[in-house]
Amino acid sequence: MSLLNNILYDMVYHSAPLILAVLGGLFAHRANVLNIGLEGMMLMGAFSSTLFVLVTGSLWLGVLLSVLCTLILGMIFSFFGITMKSNFIITGFGINIFVAALSSFVLKYMEMANINVSSIINTAGLKINIPVIKDIPVLNSLLSGHTAITYLSIILIAVVSVIVYNTKFGVYVRVVGENEEAAKSVGINSAAIKYIAVLIGATLCALAGANLAVERMALFTNNMTAGRGFIAIAAIYCGQAKPIKSALYAILFGLAKSLAINLALFAGPISGLFEIVPYLMIVIVLFAVSTIEKRRTNIRGFKLE
């Protein structure tokens, strides 16, 4: 039972930043903007939140300032990718490289191997224990003892689903993504919609980074996002940019990470091999989804003939 509780708790723990990045990134995907910069935006959120907590001594002020920094990054990506019509992939990789270099430079300048704010933030005190549920086996690991941003990530699955399918903005995003010329013909400012879509992603990526670095570890180290932004892109693709479906893929990857960590404890000398499990899971899932989609396309083409 203890192992099961650990696996379930760690699944939620590792899924939260992925869910936030997925929910943010799917808006850009729906608007036909391939935001490869999710990784860099998450890293900026992690780096700037920890840095500002160190400077200000305040957790929530640090998180707020990290959101502002990541929004600036989102504006830069949008300006080059949307206004200047540059290649989204090259622009996104540029953002990723820039943030990785910036954080590394600042750490070098400060003569620090990492940014540790554990003296300012008590991570155990940030966990919210829900009455009654905290005493129920299994459910307590899934629903209790997590941080505020973790709970926010779960709530946002429903909120984003409503925004995408039941609001005027959601309709505009989908129309711009499916047929931009048609959107322009009815007076929709497609560039503005794309900007907003990217900036929503930047905001949620900042929260994902803050959750990863400040809320969970009170520590920032170089490249600590470890490809989570790319995992989020994979989840969006597999889930066809549908909020609930894409979030479920994010949770699946969180489960893979949780299994890798917990099973590695019993693996002895080969425990390091379990680190590849989440990334192997990505490859398998992407292959399976691509195969299924190809078959569906072939079947539709056959019926049309």
- Over the stretch 3-32, which tens digit does the pLDDT of each residue have? 888 888 989 999 999 999 999 999 999 999
Residue in 204, 246, 236 with CA at minimum distance from that of residue 17: 204
Over range 201-219, report the average pLDDT: 94
Cα atoms in the 13 Å half-sphere on the side-chain side of 50: 31
CA distance 262 to 280: 17
Percent of the chain with pLDDT over 70: 94
Looking up tokens 């989804």, which residue turns up? 289
Give the model's pLDDT for residue 229.
Answer: 92
The pair phi, psi for residue 114, each rounded to 5°, is -160, 175
Residue-level pLDDT at 304:
47
Give the dihedral sign, CA 23/24/26/30. positive
pLDDT digits (tens, 9 = 90+) for 188-199: 999 999 999 999
Residue 305, pLDDT > 60, answer no
| Backbone torsion region of residue 88, taken as left when φ is above 0, otherwise alpha when ψ lies between -120 and 50, otherwise beta | alpha
Give the pLDDT confidence of 286-300 residue by residue, as tens digits: 788 778 877 776 665
pLDDT beyond 80 at 274: no
Grade residue 82 by pLDDT with cuts at 50, 70 and 90.
very high
pLDDT above 80 for 302:
no
DSSP 215: I
Confidence (pLDDT) at 75 = 96
Contact partners, residue 288, CB within 8 Å, separation at least 6: none
